[in-house]
Amino acid sequence: MKRFFKDKKKLILLSVFLVVLLAGCSNYIDKETGRVAVDKIISLSTTWKASFDEGWFTGIFVWPVAQLINLIGDKTDAGIAIIVVTFLINIVIAAFSIKSQVATQRMQMIQPELNKIQKKYEGKTDERSKMMMAQEMQALYSKYQINPFSSILVMLVQLPVILAVYQAVMRAEAVINGSFMGIDLTQTPLTGMKAGQISYFVIFALMVVMQFLSMKFPMWLAEWKKKKSGKKIKAYANEQPAGGMAGSMNMMTYVSVGMIAFISLSWPLGMSFYWLVSSLARIIQNIVINTFFIKD
Name the band, by pLDDT with cuts 50, 70 and 90, for residue 264.
confident
- Both ends of the chain: CA-CA distance in Å? 33
Q: Is 36 helix (H, G, I), strand (E, B) or coil?
A: strand
Lowest-confidence region among 24-28, 157-161, 186-190, 252-256: 24-28
> What is the reported pLDDT for 12?
54
Lowest-confidence region among 120-124, 136-140, 224-228, 231-235: 231-235
Q: Is the pLDDT of residue 142 over 50?
A: yes
Q: Percent of the chain having pLDDT more than 70?
A: 73
Kindly report, residue by residue over 71-91, the tens digit of the pLDDT. Answer: 999 888 899 999 999 889 888
Mean of pLDDT values over 155-180: 82
Residue that wins the pLDDT comparison between 248 and 255: 255
> What is the reported pLDDT for 106?
75
Residue that wins the pLDDT comparison between 77 and 7: 77
> What is the reported pLDDT for 173?
92
Question: Taking each helix axis from N to C terminus, what angle separates 150-171 and 78-109, rounded to the nearest 10 degrees?
Answer: 170
Kindly report, residue by residue over 201-246, the tens digit of the pLDDT. Answer: 999 999 999 988 888 887 777 677 667 666 555 554 455 554 555 5
CA distances from 39 to 92, 172, 193 (A): 30, 12, 29
Q: Is the pLDDT of residue 3 over 50?
A: no
Q: Is the pLDDT of residue 256 over 80?
A: no
Distance, in Å, from the CA atom of 14 to the CA atom of 57, rounded to the nearest integer, reads 19
Dump the DSSP string for 180-212: BTTB-TTS-HHHHHHTT-HHHHHHHHHHHHHHH
Average pLDDT, the chain: 77
How many other C-beta atoms lie within 10 A of the C-beta of residue 107? 22
Q: Is the pLDDT of residue 26 over 60?
A: no
> What is the reported pLDDT for 63?
93
CA distances from 258 to 1, 154, 208, 212 (A): 17, 21, 9, 9
Read off the pTM: 0.70
Lowest-confidence region among 17-21, 92-96, 224-228: 17-21
Residue that wins the pLDDT comparison between 174 and 295: 174
